[in-house]
């Protein structure tokens, strides 16, 4: 009995140790990849054509989904605030209330999650397919650095895409909130605008959200490139990598959002 218990404990410890080792290996892999990208970015040793191509594919083509998300996010913020605003008659504070939550939290977070689903997953699928069909090896065999040619341009494009999308999303979410306020609560857009600009909200609130968006972009870029490059096992392997990217990025975004909200407040 004692031997069996001891064996189970040993097995559990071994399993825990393996998971810890896998986790450390993942973090180490992220660190190595990030340093490789930073070196190339600083030296400008990356493919400009690929960078622009990816900026277009990831940024411009994400605009429709970012637009829809942002407009409805602003509206949702107003609907959730409506009972309190009506109860206390604080119609003049609607702009501040919706703006505070949107700029600092909701717009960067939801934009990051949308970009993670659309761009991060797609990036992993592309890199993963290239890995399992030996295209990454072919680049190496042709004496072409895959980090400089493929990875650094994609990583930079994701970070810039998310930063610019968040600015776009901030503006649209506030527009959505203003018109939802007019529709649901009868708050004129001018009153909503005054609530935004009478001093309760400042540039710091916008910067707070934008700083987060850069960190979220780094998380999505690193995660999608790392899991894509390390794909093994054909089409099922690509599926597993895409799944791992979406889950790891989303979890990383929430954890870092929590920590950043403390750090930046």
Partner 1 sequence: MIRLDGVCKNFDRAALIDVHLHVPQSCLFGLIGPGASGKSLLLRMITGLMRPDRGTITVGGKDVLTMGDMQLHEYRKGIGMLFQNNALFDFMTVAENIAFPLRRLFDLSEEEIAARVAERLGRVDLAGFEGRLPAGLSGGQKKRVGVARATVSQAPIVLYDEPAAGLDPVTSQKIFDLLRAEQREKKATVVMVSSDLDRLLTVTDRVGMMLGGRLIFEGTTEEAKTASDPRVYQFVHGKVDGPL
- Residues engaged in binding partner 1 (CB under 8 A): 129-130, 133-135, 137-138, 140-145
Minimum distance, C-beta of residue 30 to partner 1, in the bound complex (Å): 21
Name which of 212, 205, 216 is nearest 112 in CA terms: 216
Residue placing its CB nearer to partner 1 in the complex, 146 or 176: 146
Residue placing its CB nearer to partner 1 in the complex, 81 or 130: 130
Minimum distance, C-beta of residue 235 to partner 1, in the bound complex (Å): 13
Minimum distance, C-beta of residue 62 to partner 1, in the bound complex (Å): 18
The count of other CB atoms within 10 Å of the CB of residue 68 is 13
Minimum distance, C-beta of residue 53 to partner 1, in the bound complex (Å): 9
Distance CA 138, CA 154 (A): 19
Minimum distance, C-beta of residue 128 to partner 1, in the bound complex (Å): 13
Spatial contact of 233 and 196, defined as CB atoms under 8 Å apart: no
Residue placing its CB nearer to partner 1 in the complex, 138 or 247: 138
Residue placing its CB nearer to partner 1 in the complex, 144 or 247: 144
Residue placing its CB nearer to partner 1 in the complex, 135 or 230: 135
């Amino acid at each position: 009995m004692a031997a069996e218990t001891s064996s189970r404990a040993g097995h559990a410890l071994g399993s825990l140790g393996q998971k810890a080792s896998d986790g450390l290996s993942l973090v180490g892999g992220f660190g190595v990849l990030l340093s490789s990208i930073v070196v190339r970015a600083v030296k400008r040793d990356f493919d400009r054509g690929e960078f622009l191509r990816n900026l277009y594919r990831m940024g411009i083509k994400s605009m429709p989904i970012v637009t829809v998300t942002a407009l409805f996010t602003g509206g949702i913020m107003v609907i959730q605030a409506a009972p309190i605003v009506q109860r206390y008659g604080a119609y003049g504070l609607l702009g501040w209330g919706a703006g505070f939550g949107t700029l600092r939290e909701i717009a960067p977070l939801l934009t990051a999650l949308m970009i993670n689903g659309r761009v991060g997953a797609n990036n992993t699928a592309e890199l993963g397919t290239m890995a399992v069909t030996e295209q990454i090896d072919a680049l190496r065999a042709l004496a072409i650095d895959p980090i400089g040619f493929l990875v650094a341009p994609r990583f930079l494009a994701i970070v810039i895409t998310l930063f610019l999308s968040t600015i776009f999303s901030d503006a649209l979410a506030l527009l959505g909130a203003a018109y939802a306020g007019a529709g649901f609560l009868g708050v004129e857009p001018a009153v909503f605008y005054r609530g935004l600009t009478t001093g309760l909200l400042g540039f710091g609130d916008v910067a707070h959200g934008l700083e987060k968006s850069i960190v979220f972009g780094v998380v999505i870029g690193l995660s999608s490139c790392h899991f894509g490059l390390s794909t093994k096992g054909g089409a099922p392997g690509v599926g597993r990598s895409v799944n791992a990217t979406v889950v790891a990025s989303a979890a990383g975004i929430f954890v870092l959002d929590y920590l950043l909200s403390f750090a930046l407040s």
